[in-house]
């Protein structure tokens, strides 16, 4: 296919997706309304943007931001800190805060992300397993959703302290879970084991729906600020939100018992965190448009891509079956060429901590590793799946996807 035909196809795909795009815009408007109401309710002011140093006592901005997050996410409390090194760290703190030696953790969505494995089942000192915490997992049902009957039976038998739910897909071909499915998991668990805490890895899912897991009955959720809720402006960090006691426990793990969330200097980034969260519903809609466009293009070109272009979405990830290692590498290199930062770099497969296969990663981002910005990566192993995510603006996201297709096909 030559360049002219590829661009003609892009115009057709874009026209076909106009109703889908309007749906994303309606979701963004509703979520923006909730964010704006929370800003007003908690009296966000210029004073909130001042930073603190040292211990960070009495940080008005930090305390107000955490109230805003809790309000928007339907939680009793929230912990929003740049000292979470990534989303995995935030999720791990949530788990460590909810579990004690001898407890059982039950994952009901199969194996979690590769990077979380070592924290849960690893042999290293400090892993959950090293504290005598037993881990068990249930696979999803054949339709890709939760296996509610098996969940009910196993929760009744185990009485786990934590029932763990991964909303997004990670490096897997499964689909993301919808908020109402997470709600039904919570309802199923509480019916047979009321004391079990439902903990959700919410990475990549924030603002793709008008509700979040805590609205639907989850006890705790966690995610990364350099994904959806940071709006493309947060320079680092993560959050934990949910039941106040569990958030306090997570804070004690992030810092130490007795200090918890009382300390932690914001070092002048409060303005970026507030503004990023304010932008986030809109920016997420731009990312959704980008991946829907990519799905439409790849399907038209004969590649398997899921979710389908017009499908309902619960995360910002598009999975692409690229058939060969060469296609995967070239597609990622094309994303890099179409990026605003480090466009001259050529990503190649390399070993990465936490993964058992070489990984190729394209991420020409303003914030290192920020996957709300356009990026694509994947383990170089069969079936050569690429995981495309992000796009701060639809226009730049579309151009990046076209660069990737050109690199792979032309």
Q: At residue 354, does pLDDT exceed 70?
A: no
pLDDT 10s digits, 70-105: 999 999 999 999 999 999 999 999 999 999 999 999
pLDDT band at 179; cut points 50, 70, 90: very high
Of the candidate ranges 187-201, 354-368, 373-387, the one whose mean pLDDT is the lowest: 354-368
Residue that wins the pLDDT comparison between 395 and 118:
395
pLDDT score recorded for residue 328: 97
Class of the CATH domain delimited by 45-273: alpha beta
Distance separating alpha carbons of residues 31 and 373, to the nearest angstrom: 20
**Which residues lie closer than 8 Å to 401 by C-beta, 6 or more apart?**
290, 293, 294, 297, 335, 338, 388
Residues 255-300: tens digit of each pLDDT: 999 999 999 999 999 999 999 999 999 999 999 999 999 999 999 9
pTM for this model (two decimals): 0.96
* Structural domain spans, the chain: 3-30+278-409, 45-273
Residue 314 has pLDDT above 80, yes or no: yes
Average pLDDT over residues 151-176: 93
What whole-number percentage of the chain has pLDDT above 90? 93
Task: State the chain's mean pLDDT as an integer.
Answer: 96
The fold of 3-30+278-409 is 3.90.1150
CA–CA gap between residue 397 and residue 335 (Å, rounded): 9
Q: Cis ω on the peptide bond leading into residue 307 (within 30° of 0)?
A: yes
The secondary element (H helix, E strand) that includes residue 379 is strand 375-379
Could you give the angle at the alpha carbon of 40 between the alpha carbons of 38 and 44, nearest 5°? 95
Give the mean pLDDT of 233-244.
Answer: 98
Q: Measured between alpha carbons, how far is 2 from 4 in angstroms, rounded to an integer?
A: 6
Euclidean distance between CA atoms 134 and 280, whole angstroms: 37
Average pLDDT on 152-165 reads 98
pLDDT tens-digit series, residues 36-56 = 999 999 999 999 999 999 999
> Can you tell me whether residue 360 is helix, strand or coil?
strand
Mean pLDDT throughout 198-202? 98
Percentage of the chain beyond pLDDT 70 is: 99
Q: Quickly state the pLDDT bin for 114 (edges 50, 70, 90).
A: confident
């Amino acid at each position: 296919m030559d360049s002219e035909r590829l661009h003609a196809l892009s115009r057709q795909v874009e026209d076909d997706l106009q109703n889908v795009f309007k749906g994303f815009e309606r979701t963004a408007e509703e979520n923006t309304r909730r964010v704006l109401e929370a800003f007003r309710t908690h009296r966000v002011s210029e004073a909130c943007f001042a930073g603190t140093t040292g211990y960070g006592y009495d940080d008005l901005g930090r305390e107000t931001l955490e109230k805003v997050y809790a309000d928007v996410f339907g939680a009793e409390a929230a912990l929003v800190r740049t000292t979470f090194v990534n989303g995995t760290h935030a999720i791990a703190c949530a788990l460590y805060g909810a579990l004690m030696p001898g407890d059982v953790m039950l994952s009901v969505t199969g194996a979690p992300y590769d990077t979380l494995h070592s924290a849960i089942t690893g042999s290293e000192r400090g892993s959950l397993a090293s504290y005598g915490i037993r881990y068990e997992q249930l696979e999803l049902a054949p339709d890709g959703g939760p296996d509610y009957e098996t969940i009910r039976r196993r929760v009744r038998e185990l009485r786990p302290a934590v029932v763990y739910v991964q909303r997004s897909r990670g490096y897997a071909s499964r689909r993301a879970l919808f908020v109402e499915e997470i709600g039904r998991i919570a309802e199923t668990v509480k019916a047979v084991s009321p004391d079990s805490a439902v903990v959700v890895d919410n990475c990549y899912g924030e603002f793709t729906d008008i509700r979040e897991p805590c609205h639907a009955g989850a006890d705790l959720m966690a995610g990364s600020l350099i994904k959806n809720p940071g709006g493309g402006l947060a320079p680092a960090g993560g959050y934990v939100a949910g039941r106040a006691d569990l958030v306090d426990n997570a804070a004690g793990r992030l810092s130490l018992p007795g200090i918890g969330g009382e300390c932690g200097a914001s070092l002048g980034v409060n303005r970026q965190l507030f503004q990023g969260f304010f932008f986030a519903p809109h920016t997420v809609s731009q990312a959704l448009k980008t991946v829907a466009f990519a799905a439409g293009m790849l399907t038209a070109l004969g590649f398997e891509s899921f979710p389908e272009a017009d499908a309902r979405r619960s995360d910002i990830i598009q999975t692409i079956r690229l058939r060969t290692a060469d296609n995967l590498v070239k597609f990622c290199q094309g994303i890099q060429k179409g990026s605003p930062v480090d466009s001259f770099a050529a990503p190649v497969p390399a070993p990465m901590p936490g993964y058992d296969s070489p990984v190729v990663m394209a991420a020409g981002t303003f914030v290192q590793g920020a996957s709300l910005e356009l990026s694509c990566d994947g383990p170089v192993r069969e079936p050569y799946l690429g995981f495309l995510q992000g796009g701060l603006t639809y226009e730049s996201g579309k151009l990046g996807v076209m660069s990737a297709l050109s690199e792979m096909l032309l």
